[in-house]
């Protein structure tokens, strides 16, 4: 295909493969832990990290990483305090992140040079070679983390109290997972945008859950859905000159609708077979 001859398309596809191994693991665990909105919260907090970098005139990527890692640890701490109402920590940090971002932007004398659109909407087609390397390294790290702590993550996702009483390092693994989630969001934000990064994390995993019957299968199916959705979105963006992040998100939504309809009709057919009268 002609578009594969372009370096920026090749980088985007490699980045898409790397993302496809990151988001199913993070997304599935967030859904099972009832923290689906955490991805959206961390994307808002990432904007505060970018604004802080602009305000201090340092590398926004570095300031965002440090800011999000700190915020992830705080969220995990608040979650343990409000263990019955874990969504409170998400609501508090989301509000704080947006407030800090807006205040720092208003105080920044260079706010005229602050390209907020780049971080709100992003573009995987503009990814740099260094960002591709970071994504690949992050995906390898997260996959290794998942393979090592798969049993602990599985038990924690369904019953954290049982995991704790079994002697598993629940608090440590939870903090590490939150940090990995924050780092992933902050790195993916300039690629797909703060407004859409949560869709990239949640929708494929939510789709995979509908057609899988085990923890491991959900991740494998999630990877496949990610690859299909990201590649379809990139090709659609190139072909029709649409925003890459929005095209990828719409691809995921189309897949979700198709899978939902298919599972509905399959379930309906089984019911009719079991109850012919």
Per-residue model confidence as pLDDT tens for the chain (277 residues):
677 788 888 999 999 999 999 999 999 988 888 788 888 888 888 888 888 888 888 888 788 888 888 888 888 788 777 766 666 777 788 888 888 888 887 887 665 555 666 677 777 888 889 889 999 999 999 999 999 888 888 888 777 777 777 777 778 888 888 888 888 988 888 777 777 788 889 999 999 999 988 888 999 999 999 999 999 999 998 888 888 888 999 999 999 999 999 998 888 888 877 776 5
pLDDT tens-digit readout, 9-57: 899 999 999 999 999 999 998 888 878 888 888 888 888 888 888 888 8
Query: What separation in angstroms does the CA of 80 have from each of 87, 135, 174?
Result: 11, 30, 10
Longest dimension (CA), the chain: 74
CB 155 within 8 A of CB 168: yes
Sign of the Cα torsion 114, 102, 63, 125 reads negative
Q: Given this model, what pLDDT does residue 109 score?
A: 63
Q: List C-alpha distances in Å: 117 to 45, 52, 74, 121, 189.
A: 16, 16, 28, 6, 11
SS3 content of the chain, % helix, strand, coil (to 5): 85, 0, 15
10: CB partners within 8 A, 6+ apart:
4
pLDDT at residue 62, as a whole number: 83
Q: Tell me which residue of 81, 97, 90, 77 sits closest to 37, measured CA to CA.
A: 90
Q: Which two tokens stand for residue 140?
A: 């390898």
Alpha-carbon span 35 to 3, nearest angstrom: 38
The 3-state secondary structure of 157-179, one letter per residue: HHCHHHHHHCCCCHHHHHHHHHH
Q: Cα–Cα distances in Å, from 256 out to 86, 202, 203, 253? A: 27, 11, 7, 5
């Amino acid at each position: 295909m002609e578009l594969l001859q372009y370096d920026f398309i090749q980088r985007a596809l490699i980045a898409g493969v790397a993302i496809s191994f990151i988001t199913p693991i993070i997304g599935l665990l967030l859904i099972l832990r009832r923290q689906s909105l955490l991805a959206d919260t961390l994307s808002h907090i990432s904007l505060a990290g970018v604004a802080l970098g602009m305000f201090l005139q340092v590398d926004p990527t570095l300031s965002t990483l440090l800011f999000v890692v700190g915020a992830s640890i705080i969220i995990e701490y608040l979650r343990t305090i409000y263990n019955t109402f874990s969504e409170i920590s998400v609501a508090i940090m989301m509000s704080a992140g947006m407030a800090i971002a807006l205040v720092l932007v208003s105080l920044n004398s260079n706010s005229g040079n602050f390209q907020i659109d780049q971080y709100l909407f992003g573009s995987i087609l503009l990814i740099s070679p260094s960002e591709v390397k970071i994504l690949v390294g992050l995906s390898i790290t997260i996959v290794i983390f998942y393979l090592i702590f798969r049993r602990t993550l599985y038990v924690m996702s369904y019953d954290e109290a049982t995991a704790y009483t079994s002697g598993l390092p629940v608090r440590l693994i939870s903090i590490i997972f939150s940090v990995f989630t924050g780092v992933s969001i902050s790195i993916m934000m300039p690629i797909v945008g703060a407004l859409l990064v949560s869709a990239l994390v949640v929708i494929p995993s939510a789709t995979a859950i509908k057609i899988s019957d085990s923890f491991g299968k959900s991740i494998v199916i999630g990877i496949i859905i990610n690859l299909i959705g990201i590649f379809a979105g990139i090709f659609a963006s190139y072909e029709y000159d649409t925003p890459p992040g929005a095209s990828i998100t719409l691809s995921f939504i189309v897949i979700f609708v198709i899978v939902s309809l298919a599972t509905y009709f399959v379930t309906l057919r089984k019911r009719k077979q079991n109850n012919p009268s």
